[in-house]
C-alpha cells in the first residue's frame, strides 16, 4: 500500500509521455497520446486493465488496450468511410492541464480543442476535457463543449479493455432485459433475456443501459459504474477475429474483455452551441472467493 497520493509528469511508456497517478489504494498511468489510461492496478498491484503486449507505443496508432477515448463518433463514421473508426482524438496528443494530489487522491486533467488538423477532419470548434481521478477507485470524466454555432450529433465511448483470467464463459451482470445491436451478426438486434455469458466472439451495443455493469471473474469482480451514458458496448474478437489485428497477439484474446461506457447508434445525442456533456465511468474491483 502506497503511503500517500502523488501525481507525476512526465514519465514514459515506450515513446509515449505519460502521467503517473499513485494513491494509497492503487496506481494508474495515462498516456498524453490519446489521453489513454494505459494501466490501472489495485492495492495489491493486480492489473485491472489489459494492455496488448503488441500495442504500438510510438504514437503511430491508437494504443491497443487500456481506455482509449472514442470521440466524436463511435464505430464507423456515419457518412464518410474514409475517416478512421472511433473518431480522431485517440490519435492525437492532449495537453496536460492540471495535476494535483492530497493524502488520498491523485488527479490529472487533459484537454484537447479544435485546431487546423482537427478542423480538416471535423469542421467544428470544440473543447474536450478528460479528468482522471484515482482514490480507492478509478474515475474518468469526459466533458465535451460545443464551441461552434451549430448543433452536432455525437457518439462516443470510454473503450475500456479489462484484464480477465479467461473471457470464455465469464458472466457480465447488469444487461439483462436490454435491447442490443449485434455487429457480429451483421447489425441484427436482440434482447438480452438472461445474464450475459461471454462466448467469444462478441460485439454488441446495449441500449438504454444506465446502471452498473459487473464482470464476474473466478477470483474478483470488476464493477463499472457510469453517468451520462446510455450505451454499454461488449467486445471480444475471439480467436479468428484476433488474427485480423496485428496489435493483438493470436492467443491474447481470451485474457481481455471490453465493457465500454458510451453513447452509440440509437443513443447518439445532439449537443447544441454552448452546451456541455459529461460522460463518466468509475471502476473498482472486489475480491471474491469461490464460484462467480
Ligand atoms: O468497441 C467494439 C469495436 O467497435 C469492435 O467492433 C472492434 O472494431 C473494436 O471496437 C476495435 O476497434 P479499433 O478501431 O480500435 O480497431
CA of 290 to the centre of ligand 1 (A): 33
Cα gap 180→225, rounded to integer Å: 19
Give the span between the Cα atoms of 131 and 71, in whole angstroms: 15
Burial class (CB in 10 A: 0-12, 13-18, 19+), 265: middle
pLDDT at 176: 97
Does 9 have pLDDT greater than 90? Answer: no
Q: What is the pLDDT of residue 149?
A: 97
Write the pLDDT tens digit of every residue in 195-220: 999 999 999 999 999 999 999 999 99
Q: What residue owns the CA closest to ligand 1's atom 15?
A: 64
Identify the H or E element spanning 243: helix 238-243
Nearest CA to ligand 1 atom 9: 235
Residue 53 burial (CB count, 10 A): 12
pLDDT at 238 (0 to 100): 98
In the 8-state DSSP scheme, what is residue 239?
A: H
Q: Say what the pLDDT of residue 6 is.
A: 81
Q: Which atom belonging to ligand 1 lies closest to the Cα atom of 85?
A: 14
Atom of ligand 1 nearest to the CA of 260: 1
* Centroid of ligand 1 to alpha carbon of 52 (angstroms): 14
Q: Report d(CA 215, CA 208) in Å as an integer.
A: 19
Pocket residues for ligand 1 (CB within 6 Å)? 75, 85-86, 159, 183, 203, 233, 235, 258, 260
H-type alpha helices, 138-280: 238-243
The Cα 135–Cα 232 span in angstroms is 24
* pTM of the model as a whole: 0.97
C-alpha cell at 109: 486533467
State how far the Cα of 62 lies from the Cα of 69, in Å rounded to an integer: 10
- Closest residue (by CA) to atom 2 of ligand 1? 235
100 to 57, 89, 113, 218: CA distances (angstroms) = 26, 24, 22, 36
Residue 85's pLDDT is: 98
The band of 4, judged by pLDDT with boundaries at 50, 70 and 90, is confident
The set of residues, in sequence order, having a beta carbon less than 8 Å from that of 60 and lying 6+ positions away, is none
Q: Are 229 and 212 in contact, with CB atoms under 8 Å apart? A: no
Separation of CA 282 and ligand 1 centre (Å)? 21
CA 253, 256, 259, 261 dihedral sign is negative
Q: Is the pLDDT of residue 148 over 70?
A: yes
Range 106-127 average pLDDT? 97
Q: Cell numbers of 233, please?
A: 458496448
DSSP state letter for 241: H
Nearest-5° Cα angle at 216, 210 to 220 = 120
Instruction: For residues 263 and 71, give the distance between their C-alpha atoms in angstroms, rounded to a whole number.
Output: 10
**If you average pLDDT over residues 158-181, what whole number do you get?**
97
Contact 257, 167 (CB under 8 A): yes
Residue 212 CA to residue 178 CA, distance in Å, equals 13
Taking residues 152-163, report their average pLDDT. Answer: 98
Beta bridge partners of 214: 173, 223
Q: Which of 55, 76, 86 to mutate to test the pocket of ligand 1 (most atoms within 8 A of CB)?
A: 86
Residue with cell 490519435: 91
Amino acid at each position: 500500500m502506497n503511503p500517500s497520493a502523488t501525481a507525476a509528469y512526465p514519465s514514459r511508456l515506450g515513446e509515449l509521455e505519460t502521467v503517473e497517478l499513485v494513491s494509497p489504494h492503487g496506481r494508474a498511468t495515462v498516456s498524453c497520446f490519446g489521453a489513454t489510461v494505459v494501466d490501472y492496478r489495485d492495492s495489491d498491484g493486480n492489473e485491472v486493465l489489459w494492455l496488448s503486449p503488441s500495442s504500438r507505443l510510438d504514437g503511430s496508432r491508437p494504443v491497443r488496450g487500456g481506455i482509449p477515448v472514442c470521440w466524436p463518433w463511435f464505430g464507423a463514421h456515419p457518412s464518410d468511410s474514409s475517416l478512421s473508426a472511433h473518431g480522431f482524438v485517440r490519435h492525437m496528443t492532449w495537453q496536460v492541464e492540471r495535476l494535483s494530489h492530497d493524502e488520498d487522491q491523485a488527479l490529472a486533467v487533459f484537454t484537447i480543442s479544435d485546431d487546423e488538423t482537427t478542423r480538416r477532419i471535423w469542421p467544428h470548434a470544440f473543447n474536450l476535457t478528460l479528468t482522471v481521478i484515482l482514490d480507492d477507485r478509478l474515475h474518468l470524466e469526459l466533458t465535451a463543449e460545443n464551441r461552434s454555432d451549430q448543433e452536432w450529433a455525437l457518439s462516443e465511448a470510454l473503450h475500456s479493455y479489462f484484464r480477465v483470467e479467461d473471457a470464455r464463459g465469464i458472466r457480465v451482470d447488469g444487461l439483462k432485459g436490454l435491447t442490443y445491436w449485434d455487429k457480429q451478426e451483421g447489425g441484427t438486434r436482440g434482447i438480452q433475456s438472461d445474464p450475459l455469458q461471454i462466448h467469444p466472439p462478441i460485439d454488441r451495443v446495449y441500449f438504454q443501459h444506465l446502471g452498473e455493469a459487473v464482470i464476474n471473474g473466478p477470483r474478483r469482480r470488476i464493477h463499472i459504474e457510469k453517468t451520462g451514458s446510455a450505451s454499454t458496448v461488449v467486445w471480444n474478437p475471439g480467436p479468428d477475429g484476433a488474427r485480423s489485428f496485428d496489435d493483438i497477439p493470436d492467443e491474447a484474446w481470451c485474457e481481455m474483455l471490453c465493457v465500454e461506457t458510451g453513447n452509440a447508434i440509437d443513443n447518439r445525442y445532439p449537443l447544441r452551441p454552448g452546451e456541455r456533456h459529461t460522460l463518466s465511468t468509475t471502476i473498482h474491483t472486489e475480491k471474491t472467493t469461490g464460484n462467480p
